[in-house]
Structure 1
Amino acid sequence: MPESLPYEIISEILSPLLKVPDDLFANNRPTSPFAQYAKPSTSAYLVVCKKWLLAATPLLYNVVVLRSQAQAEALAKVLGEHNGLGKHIRKLRVEGGYGDAMLTILASAPNITDLLLSMEIWGGNSTDGLCEGLPLVNPRRLIMHEGRLARTSKMVTNLVDELAKAIAGPWTKLTSFISPYARDSERGRQIFRALEKANRLSELVVLQEEALMWVYPIVKKCPLESVGYLERRWWWRERNAPPKDPALVQLIQNYEKLHPRLPLLRNADLVSPSEVPKAVWFTPMENVPSEIREDIWSRILRFALAMPERDWDASNTSRYVFRPESERLRRLGYLRVCKMFYRLGRPHYFEDITLGSDRESTAKLDELLSGSDMQPHIKTLYATNYRTRHFTWDLFEKLLDTTGSSLLECGVDVGTYIMPRSLFGVDKKPEPPAPPPIIDARVLFSKMPNLRRLRWDCKVEFRTPESDEEDGGELARLEALWIRGTSPTFLDALINARLPLLKTLYMTTNTVNYAPFLTVHGPVLTSLHISLSILDEMWALPPDRSSKRLSSLCPNVVELVVTWPQQQRAAPPRNAFLSYEHRADIPALPRSRRRSHGSAASTSVVAAPDVPASAFDSLKKLCLVVDWFPHERAKLEAWANYLLQFDTSETPALEEVSLPVLSWPTTEREIGRSSFVKAAEKLLEQGGTHRRSEKSTPQVAWPSMPLVKKLPLRPHLGAQSRVTATRRA
């Protein structure tokens, strides 16, 4: 099929796939938009067949983005071997100096119309080739890029000087300039003076609106046709802003006609009631029987009022408990349309209920559970409390008695009594409460037959089963369980309970022993979310207790998510996923089991156990959920050392290690100096050469997982081939 298509049609098909949007090419923000890890290379389209190669090559070279020295050298080599290839280059983005290779590139690309030059150049990156090659091109548009800090090295100074000479001299076609300078600076004035001297500038774009105050007086004598800015002035600064030149106002309006932007609400035009067109009254389904009409509207409102499932993985409690106020107002808006919408929408509105920590909220829930017709429609209920617990066990039992059969998701912080408060908000010393009743788990579970997700935070005591064979009840549809706070008797009750569909477990409290529970229900778990303190403790168990290790209790876990407790914020794990000699908590071993290095009088007690440790044979994804990442050098080095010492011997099937809060480097220099990139490469090497199965097939595929904000393969900044090396990394 591809061989039968003419070149023109193939070119039209491939053009959208190989096109680089101009807003990305001309982006001169501090972080390059091309600093991405997960974006696949577009050069794959060229290897389909020879016809596609010939049709796509001009499209591929139309926009060239250089982000590394290796890319520049590869492109220079390709252009040197193929003389006519550089004529296809129309837009060139250079994010560095790249030495003598730039002279060859600029000499081979005489048709460049858009040129972006970055001033974020470090001392070891030569700009000699770039300086010599600037007079060889004649662009129509120039975009300058500055990093977060202006570099003042000799290489950058030479480049700015040569750039100013080219603007004022041989660049006779230059009519458009995009400036990165928001504040007045000598480097910026040098460029604008060159533009003033050339007197050819017709379009000017600055980074911020305030920059026009010092830029426009320099270039106002140029034949300007439009002037624009990328960022608006903050509204509170407009009051004290000096009046603009009328000519400048007209130039800004000309730019906004060509590049319209969304208007601010405060500047929206007011329309008088007389100008509003009269609505044409129309009643949908007017001639349809009322039963059918209401059934259709009820289905529509069910989707309109539906709420997405809460994300338990959110680090902030308010993100998965409380719904945004905008969502509540949006849902209420449907009920206020008409009486029919109110009547049909109320059951769907009460499917998802969220309560705060005030007494009024629990009082309203008590009233709703007492005599409302909305009880059977409640499917999701969340309630959280701060300092005082207003959601009592009696109210929780009332909830289950009235809505238990319809309840699908429940997450409440249940207390046994209400703590009184003083007039000034200071907790009074409560009276000794009456001992709460001992709960029978079988009765409690029978009231929640359809429950799918349970977030448990309650210290009430449960009746201890008399024997392991005793029937503990059943939660037939429970898929996810979050143990946030509990008494040990609740886990004892769950041991004898039947949980046939349980696949996900959240263990965030370290006040109980999970080993007996995991011994019974651990083999069915596929997703485990565990607190770091619990994981470190279970990982450091001695070899004679290997049956109590997490990998033995949960052998079928595919996804492991580690959460950080408040008292251990931003610190790397002490024991988890470290080899025996790198763990902080090493159990004492008998002297006969210790390795002796050197003489018999050696005092080293660090020894690897003779018994092989159990492994997570099914674990494929590991996610380290840290609330925030430290900026101190010592803590960053601790994290880098941890990742460098990361041991994959107990995770033979691991494919992905995710650290969402980690900000990956975006430039060639930062990538080369980053310890985290080195750790990622080491992990990739370990994964690619790790143990094989009995059929001699690799169990891991690390190199196929270069994902954003995860431990990816180093962004390829070198040349894979003569074609791919010329495009962005």
Structure 2
Amino acid sequence: MSAALPDEILSEILSPALKVSDERFSDTSNVSPFAKYEFSTSAYLVVCKDWLRVATPLLYNVVILRSRSQANALEKVLQKYKEFGRFIHKLRVEGGYGMAMHTILKSAPNITDIFLTLKIWSDDSTQGLCNGLPLINPHRVIVVDPHERKARKNQNLAALTAVLLRCIREWDNMRVFDFPYSTSYGDPLWAERAMKLVEALGHSKGLHTILLGQFFQIPPFLRSLSKIPTVQTLQFKVHPTYIKTAIDGHPRLKALVRYPPESVEVPEGLVHIPDIAPSLNPSFIPMGSASEDTRERVWSRVFSFAMYVEAHSPGSTFREKHSHKSHLAIVLVSKYFNRLALPYLYECPNLSDEGAKLLAEQLPNRPELGSFIKILSMPYASTDIKLTLISLATNLQRFLPSQYLSLGCFEALGRSAGSSLREVSLSFEDIEIPTSLLASFTELRELTISASAVKVVPDTTSENVLHKLHTLRIDSMFQDISFLDAFSMIRLPALRTLRIDFYRSLALDADNSIIQFLKAHGSSLRHLSFQFSRQMLPYLKLFDICQELVEVKFLENAKLPREILTCMTPHKSLAKIIVDKTVDDPGDFDPAMFPALREIQIQACKWPTTEREISKSDWVPLAEAWLKRGIKLTDSDGEHWIPRVKRARGR
């Protein structure tokens, strides 16, 4: 396919995938924007010969070096293919990286932008940089001296600083310099370095723009920068709110300083409505030639978007819709709009305590409004108000109360909306619930229940309830375990996801109840989440009981017994394990027992972002050991470790 395309077109197609934005290249944040682990873009070069020819200049246009191994690898490439060095225009070096940097800089005569860091460790040789920097003549120089507790000081850094100051005096192509210091640097050594840098910049022959960071007061070196004869612009990257008045009082600074554009913040809830020209035909009726049914369907679709507001429910991952005060204007446009938009206004009322009272007073007189309510987040209100709202909300799909529910309210919920409810979150206080009450909820898919103060009592209809329930979340299970016992007797053929919390105060016979519960429903489970603060049952043969599990999550405050992660016969479904803090070394793990396992996620895992951190990290060798077994170790965001380039020799 690519053979039919000119190189220019193919280059435009590949550029977005291979291009490094200048914003990322010049980013001087403490954490490098390239610290996030991504697959190498060099993979595009091996697609075909045409892609290799066109993509190679794009790949080498901006080079980012974050380890000595990468520098050594680039050195070898440039030694073998000298023409590749001419493609390099921007070079970002986030360390010293030894003598390889001399070869790289010597082979790249067309460098226009260079990024250097003064975060140099004592064992990080800068000899290659010191030898190579005089060989280039960049247009823009970006220097970073990270703000740490104390200014860094060692021989390698001193050597690099001395060469850099000398080069700044001699680089006659340099027009732009990103100044690394600000007033927040407390160590006197930084102030000394800043003044030496200003003195070197004063000898530059063509410097016209200096970029500055965050300032809270005017330091002496800022006035010194303004006195450099060739400088035309002092460009702040962050608006210096605190020193603007002082700058305005300094004529030379005021003439040179430029500020970043200020972002305009629109107050929340303020929506700009553009002016609409008056109609040339005042009697025009939108969609006048369409049928009434078509007009209503179109307007209803419009209102479904116009009256939709997204928000996150606290402590949850799902999205909620809430009616907004601005929506009231839509239903007041006309009787026609009122009739079509009213269902969307009441679909998910955002009720305060007072709002719940007003709605409860309104619904008995207009019961049709209750049928519009689909999502009800019950606020703190009296039992009478809750009963009124629950009894008249006959088409509820989600019910999320914020306080304990009485048995009477629960019974009313089943009578009024049992046939429509799909998601319910329940919390009870010291009551007994016969499982027959659950029979009213014929469409329930998701149930979250706080089991800390509720007794569930099996009765004659226990086996004929909740046939469509696919997600069950059991929270706050303390002493009473009647919930487990009762639900062990219920058939839940659609159950696929279970989240269950255990606590140290569980009764002594809880272990058997847990096992019986899993034996009753484990065969259908696909996703299982445990949270517990005591030693898990070492004799719980979880994977022998739940043989269809695809994902299991252990969030524990106690050690996870090794026996939990074993099984008698190979478990052919498990693809992912999520644990809180740690996982055993793969040396004792038999991949044949979990042939489908591809990922182990550790919530406490945090991948290192620098070469030095990588060398000291305990996560990296563990991740690489698991990767040899074909299993990715991921952090809390689901990012897995990508092995770095390894050095074949030390330099």
TM-score bracket, normalised by the shorter chain, equals 0.7 to 0.9
Q: Are residues 499 and 297 of structure 1, via their aligned partners in 2, closer, same or farther at CA, if it must alter by over 3 Å? A: farther
Q: Are residues 84 and 240 of structure 1, via their aligned partners in 2, closer, same or farther at CA, if it must alter by over 3 Å? A: closer
Alpha-carbon distance, 1:655 to partner: 1.1
Alpha-carbon distance between aligned partners in 2 of 1:500 and 1:284, rounded to the nearest angstrom: 54
Please say if 1:480 is aligned against 2:471.
yes
What's the counterpart of residue 296 of structure 1? 298
3-state secondary structure, aligned to 1:166:
helix
Alpha-carbon distance between aligned partners in 1 of 2:199 and 2:114, rounded to the nearest angstrom: 19
Alpha-carbon distance, 1:101 to partner: 1.0
What's the counterpart of residue 359 of structure 1? 381
Alpha-carbon distance between aligned partners in 1 of 2:318 and 2:274, rounded to the nearest angstrom: 40
Q: Are residues 46 and 261 of structure 1, via their aligned partners in 2, closer, same or farther at CA, if it must alter by over 3 Å? A: farther
The AA in structure 1 aligned to 2:17 is L
Q: Are residues 189 and 710 of structure 1, via their aligned partners in 2, closer, same or farther at CA, if it must alter by over 3 Å? A: farther
3-state secondary structure, aligned to 2:237:
strand
The equivalences for 1:553-592 within 5 A come to 553-564=545-556, 568=557, 573-576=559-562
Alpha-carbon distance, 1:674 to partner: 0.7
The AA in structure 2 aligned to 1:6 is P
TM-score (norm 1): 0.73
CA distances 1:249-290 after superposition (whole Å, capped 9, x unpaired)? 55444x64xxx4523459xxx9xx9xx985335798363565
The AA in structure 2 aligned to 1:553 is I
The equivalences for 1:212-227 within 5 A come to 213-222=219-228, 223-227=230-234
3-state secondary structure, aligned to 1:65:
strand
What's the counterpart of residue 72 of structure 1? 71
CA distances 1:33-84 after superposition (whole Å, capped 9, x unpaired)? 11122x2211122112223222221111111111111111121222122232
3-state secondary structure, aligned to 2:614:
helix
Please say if 1:245 is aligned against 2:250.
yes
Kept in 2, the 8 Å contact 1:406–1:450? The answer is yes
Alpha-carbon distance between aligned partners in 2 of 1:111 and 1:291, rounded to the nearest angstrom: 68
What's the counterpart of residue 716 of structure 1? 644
What's the counterpart of residue 191 of structure 1? 197
Q: Are residues 80 and 462 of structure 1, via their aligned partners in 2, closer, same or farther at CA, if it must alter by over 3 Å? A: closer
Alpha-carbon distance, 1:213 to partner: 4.6
Q: Are residues 252 and 138 of structure 1, via their aligned partners in 2, closer, same or farther at CA, if it must alter by over 3 Å? A: same
Kept in 2, the 8 Å contact 1:472–1:493? The answer is no
Alpha-carbon distance, 1:142 to partner: 0.6
Alpha-carbon distance, 1:338 to partner: 3.0
Kept in 2, the 8 Å contact 1:454–1:482? The answer is yes
Please say if 1:123 is aligned against 2:115.
no
CA root-mean-square deviation = 3.4
Q: Are residues 392 and 248 of structure 1, via their aligned partners in 2, closer, same or farther at CA, if it must alter by over 3 Å? A: farther
What runs of 5+ residues in structure 1 fail to find an aligned partner?
312-317, 417-435, 542-547, 581-611, 627-638, 688-700, 721-729
The AA in structure 1 aligned to 2:295 is R
3-state secondary structure, aligned to 1:96:
coil
3-state secondary structure, aligned to 2:297:
helix
Alpha-carbon distance, 1:306 to partner: 5.8
Q: Are residues 7 and 139 of structure 1, via their aligned partners in 2, closer, same or farther at CA, if it must alter by over 3 Å? A: same
CA distances 1:643-699 after superposition (whole Å, capped 9, x unpaired)? 5478533644321111244321011111011111122122223x2xxxxxxxxxxxx
Please say if 1:320 is aligned against 2:352.
no
Alpha-carbon distance between aligned partners in 2 of 1:625 and 1:478, rounded to the nearest angstrom: 28
Q: Are residues 337 and 71 of structure 1, via their aligned partners in 2, closer, same or farther at CA, if it must alter by over 3 Å? A: same
The equivalences for 1:261-660 within 5 A come to 262-264=263-265, 278-281=275-278, 285=286, 287=288, 292-303=294-305, 318-320=314-316, 328=322, 331-339=324-332, 340=337, 343-349=342-348, 350-356=373-379, 358-359=380-381, 364-370=385-391, 372=392, 375-385=393-403, 389=404, 391-416=405-430, 436=431, 439-442=433-436, 444-458=437-451, 459-464=453-458, 472-485=463-476, 487-510=480-503, 511=506, 512=510, 513-533=513-533, 536-538=535-537, 540-541=538-539, 548-564=540-556, 568=557, 573-576=559-562, 613=568, 616-625=571-580, 639=582, 643-644=584-585, 647-649=588-590, 651-660=594-603
Alpha-carbon distance between aligned partners in 1 of 2:253 and 2:330, rounded to the nearest angstrom: 47
Alpha-carbon distance between aligned partners in 1 of 2:565 and 2:409, rounded to the nearest angstrom: 49
Alpha-carbon distance between aligned partners in 1 of 2:53 and 2:319, rounded to the nearest angstrom: 54
Alpha-carbon distance between aligned partners in 2 of 1:577 and 1:671, rounded to the nearest angstrom: 32
3-state secondary structure, aligned to 2:377:
strand
The AA in structure 2 aligned to 1:262 is S
Alpha-carbon distance between aligned partners in 2 of 1:5 and 1:670, rounded to the nearest angstrom: 45
The AA in structure 1 aligned to 2:154 is S
CA distances 1:399-437 after superposition (whole Å, capped 9, x unpaired)? 222122121111121224xxxxxxxxxxxxxxxxxxx5x
TM-score (norm 2): 0.81
Kept in 2, the 8 Å contact 1:557–1:619? The answer is yes
CA distances 1:559-608 after superposition (whole Å, capped 9, x unpaired)? 111224xxx3xxx634257889xxxxxxxxxxxxxxxxxxxxxxxxxxxx
Please say if 1:200 is aligned against 2:221.
no
Alpha-carbon distance between aligned partners in 1 of 2:346 and 2:528, rounded to the nearest angstrom: 34
Alpha-carbon distance between aligned partners in 1 of 2:326 and 2:145, rounded to the nearest angstrom: 47
Alpha-carbon distance between aligned partners in 1 of 2:564 and 2:495, rounded to the nearest angstrom: 29
Alpha-carbon distance between aligned partners in 2 of 1:72 and 1:19, rounded to the nearest angstrom: 20
Please say if 1:156 is aligned against 2:143.
no
The AA in structure 2 aligned to 1:620 is A
Alpha-carbon distance between aligned partners in 2 of 1:524 and 1:578, rounded to the nearest angstrom: 19
Alpha-carbon distance between aligned partners in 2 of 1:527 and 1:353, rounded to the nearest angstrom: 27
Alpha-carbon distance, 1:471 to partner: 5.5
3-state secondary structure, aligned to 2:9:
helix
The AA in structure 2 aligned to 1:205 is L
Alpha-carbon distance between aligned partners in 2 of 1:300 and 1:719, rounded to the nearest angstrom: 61
The equivalences for 1:49-68 within 5 A come to 49-68=48-67
Alpha-carbon distance between aligned partners in 2 of 1:625 and 1:306, rounded to the nearest angstrom: 37
Q: Are residues 87 and 277 of structure 1, via their aligned partners in 2, closer, same or farther at CA, if it must alter by over 3 Å? A: closer
Q: Are residues 321 and 525 of structure 1, via their aligned partners in 2, closer, same or farther at CA, if it must alter by over 3 Å? A: closer
The AA in structure 2 aligned to 1:57 is T
204, 209, 216: which is aligned to 1:210?
Answer: 216
Q: Are residues 233 and 445 of structure 1, via their aligned partners in 2, closer, same or farther at CA, if it must alter by over 3 Å? A: farther
Alpha-carbon distance between aligned partners in 1 of 2:502 and 2:250, rounded to the nearest angstrom: 65
Alpha-carbon distance between aligned partners in 2 of 1:707 and 1:3, rounded to the nearest angstrom: 42
Kept in 1, the 8 Å contact 2:218–2:243? The answer is no
The AA in structure 2 aligned to 1:573 is K
Alpha-carbon distance between aligned partners in 2 of 1:301 and 1:471, rounded to the nearest angstrom: 43
The AA in structure 1 aligned to 2:63 is V
Q: Are residues 249 and 505 of structure 1, via their aligned partners in 2, closer, same or farther at CA, if it must alter by over 3 Å? A: farther
Alpha-carbon distance, 1:112 to partner: 0.5
Q: Are residues 447 and 310 of structure 1, via their aligned partners in 2, closer, same or farther at CA, if it must alter by over 3 Å? A: farther
Alpha-carbon distance, 1:464 to partner: 3.5
3-state secondary structure, aligned to 1:514:
helix
Alpha-carbon distance between aligned partners in 1 of 2:30 and 2:263, rounded to the nearest angstrom: 24
The AA in structure 1 aligned to 2:602 is L
3-state secondary structure, aligned to 1:117:
strand
Kept in 1, the 8 Å contact 2:435–2:462? The answer is no
Q: Are residues 382 and 709 of structure 1, via their aligned partners in 2, closer, same or farther at CA, if it must alter by over 3 Å? A: closer
Alpha-carbon distance between aligned partners in 2 of 1:52 and 1:181, rounded to the nearest angstrom: 43
More off after superposition, 399-408 vs 300-309: 300-309
Aligned length: 589
Kept in 2, the 8 Å contact 1:106–1:133? The answer is yes
